A and B are shown apart, each in its own frame.
Chain A
Amino acid sequence: MIRLLLTIIAGVLLGGVVHLVSVLALPRIATQDAYSRLTPMTKLNTVTPLHLADPNDAPMPFMDPAFALAICRYDLSGGPIKLTVPVSQAYTSVSFYTRHDVAYYAINDRSAGRKVIELDLMTEAQHAELPEDEDVTAADRLIIDSPTATGLIVLKALAAEPGLMPQAQASLAASSCKVQTEPPAKQAGPAPAKR
């Protein structure tokens, strides 16, 4: 009897361990998370407009139907990414997600304070490799560190009324996301000329 009781206690305690491990593992083993859903319908390192959510076919659950959406699925292994998003009439925001859908940074048109949101996205290692003088000359350049080499950038533009949706989509269509040309290569050019 005591042995059975001990078995049950051991089982429940072990169950706690199983629970913790499985909760922590779930984001890594999920096959239907947002990144996996968006992978087949987006191109790498390019802005892909997402079709509007409708009842029968939505790329993700709980999408806000008042927004035009575009996705830039990035891979930083080829170098940092430069993102430019022109601000739409109503409200524009840019949100950054890691490979496992953690929202690590988001900025809207007002906090960007310009007509165009311009950002450089790079891994921490790439940021550390930046030449220091370049960091100083580009003081107004906004640099975001991505915790993972791959991830998602979500561009959103609000259509305050349904009739304004084409304008919101057009402003997102003018945005770009591309791998930057290697900064060291630029420096290699002028260096021999000095001699």
Chain B
Amino acid sequence: MRLIFITLLALILATVVGLGATWLTATRGTDLGTLTIGTWTARPKTGTADVDPYSRATIARSGELPIGAGDGVAFSATTDDRKRPLDGRCDVVVSGVTPAARFWTLTLYDSKGRLVANSLERYGFTSEEIIRNTDGSFEVRVASRARAGNWLPTGGIERYALMLRLYDTPVGVATRTQRDAPMPSIATVGCP
């Protein structure tokens, strides 16, 4: 009787621990092969054949297709430079320059990876359509209400993610630091 109880306990514990850890790593992701620059993170290896098993599990679960390494690299950010979560009700400024790339796009998603509805049908910017300063740098204002210049509407949602995708770029598996890849800064400048 006791043996059965103990075996059962061990098996239940194994199931909870094992599946719990899998669920956690598949939803939150791991630091395996992660390239972090400022608040931006990328996993250049997910676009190659030697993608790690944790990233594969995450990709299979979310249903996205990772961007191929010969195509480009995707950086995402869910917090500003001070580690404060991006809030759609606040004014957030994304400014600076981007790493060398033939084209880039900046897109705003909700936490499930969907675009956020707005009357302008503006879901992001491409490197071609953004308005730049004379030195080539740019400033995007991410806010729920209309702003002058490059306005990216949030629709007032609570949490969102920004994704900067670089296409045809030398940035990738070999990139390590900010010097190789100068990423734009993200700052929350005002909250109602």
Contacts and interface: CB of A to CB of B under 8 A. Distances in A.
Given A11-B14, A93-B167, A103-B66, A19 B60 contact: no
Most chain-A CB neighbours within 10 Å: which of B13, B26, B57? B13
A183 interface: no
B135 interface: no
B9 A11 contact: yes
B12 A58 contact: no
Interface in A22-54: 22-24, 26-27, 30, 32-34, 36-37, 53-54
Interface residues of A, number: 64
A61 B10 contact: no
B63 A37 contact: yes
Interface string A2-17: 0110011011111111
A151 to B, nearest CB: 11
Residues of B contacting A: mostly? mixed
A129 interface: no
A15 B15 contact: yes
A161 B128 contact: yes
Contact of B18 (A19, A93, A158): A19
Nearest to A69: B65
Given A11-B17, A65-B107, A91 B102 contact: yes
B93 to A, nearest CB: 21
Nearest to A36: B63
Interface of B: 6, 9-19, 21-22, 25-26, 46-49, 51, 53-54, 56-57, 59-72, 74, 102-103, 105, 107, 109, 112-117, 121, 123-124, 126-129, 163, 165, 167-168
